Structure 1
Amino acid sequence: MNPADEILDIVDENDQVIGQAPRGRVYAEGLRHRCVFIQARDAEGRLFVHRRTPTKLVFPSLYDMFVGGVVGAGESYELAALREAEEELGVSGLPDPEFLFKFLYEDGAGHSWWSAVYEVRCELPVSPQVEEVDWHAFLPEEEVVDRLADWEWVPDGLDAYHRLRAHRAAEGSR
């Protein structure tokens, strides 16, 4: 199936479903939809970081510190988080990702999506999808922070990362 043909729920400013449309139309018309962001850490606590392939519909060839993607029509955030994490990491049998928070991402150009942020521990050997991932590594968080200014990051992932760091600081964890 062509990713542009995948049917997504269209949601309002309160994250209530108001319709459905193919992903290609959702992106072209800037229709509000749902996404999941999953921060994957290995057994040593390092972050999974990757560069997206140049064929991605959104943010091709940019770096990301999350795996994830769109929530399909009728799919829950929870199911989408596990599906996307296993698909993008190329593993099966992950524990259920832990929900952290949700926010409305808006890019200033008329595009927005509800974004649910999760984290998961991946102690399995990863084999990322070649259609999704050009390069990957598990990096210490300090190295990720050092590369924030040097690498071109997906803007929604970078926003989610800053929100996650603020969330953790507010909780006094990590």
Structure 2
Amino acid sequence: MANPAEELLDVVDEHDRVIGTALRGEVYRRGLIHRCVFILVRDPAGRIFVHRRTDTKLFAPGAHDMFVGGVVGSGESYAEAAVREAEEELGVHGIVPRPLFKFLFREPDGGKLAWWCDTYEAEWDGPVSPQESEVAWHAWLTPDELADRLTRDTFVPDGLDAYRRYLDFRAA
């Protein structure tokens, strides 16, 4: 889609029930709850795909993220969006995300934005060709390298929340 702000999204309530639709720009402007998917992608060595978002993103431009993903389109399932987003952002075909957990993210510090996050994990054993309109920089980092970057780089707040939950989920 040429203009992400014109993408039609399902608006949901605090229980993730669809209550309407709105354009993405309106969803962000009015702080309407919507749906997103996050996919943590590892290579066979256990390294995590980490990237810096382009400066043109509507949310958290230029921030780093350890998840690929994005909004769920109107009428699209979480699972469909997970495959679509992972394949688009990585520039690959045939990825198989495994569902992990879902949570309601609320923007920190009294921000008005909120969205349901369905979180997945996938393994990819091959080259990637990240989408230039989404990814400004990328690398495969070990968990220790990622932990170091978390102390010195700016990461998207929803990705940080999801990653903390992911670490807790794996430890349980």
**TM-score calculated relative to the size of structure 1:** 0.95
Deviation at 1:44, TM superposition (A): 1.1
Instruction: Identify the residue that residue 43 of structure 2 maps to in structure 1.
Output: 42
CA distance in 2, matches of 1:93, 1:81: 12
Q: CA deviation at 1:124?
A: 1.9
Provide the aligned C-alpha RMSD in A.
Answer: 0.7
AA aligned opposite 1:133 = V
1:107-143 CA-partner distances (Å, limit 9, x unpaired): 1312110000000001120000000000000000111
Distance in 1 separating the partners of 2:33 and 2:165: 20
Matches within 5 A, 1:1-174: 1=1, 2-94=3-95, 96-107=96-107, 108-170=110-172
1-structure distance, mates of 2:42, 2:162: 16
Shift of residue 146, structure 1, vs aligned partner: 1.5
Larger displacement relative to structure 2 (14-23 or 101-110): 101-110
Please list every run of 5 or more consecutive structure 2 residues that lacks an aligned counterpart in the other structure: none
TM-score where L is the length of structure 2: 0.96
Match for 1:101: what amino acid? Answer: F
Letter in 1 for 2:86: A
Question: Where in structure 1 do 4 or more consecutive aligned residues deviate above 4 Å?
Answer: none
Letter in 2 for 1:168: R
Structure 1: gaps spanning 5 or more residues? none
In percent, how many aligned pairs have the same letter? 62
How many residue pairs get aligned? The number is 169
**2:84 counterpart SS class:** helix
Q: Structure 1: how far apart are the matches of 2:47 and 2:113?
A: 31
Deviations 1:145-172 (A, max 9, x none): 11111000000000100011011111xx
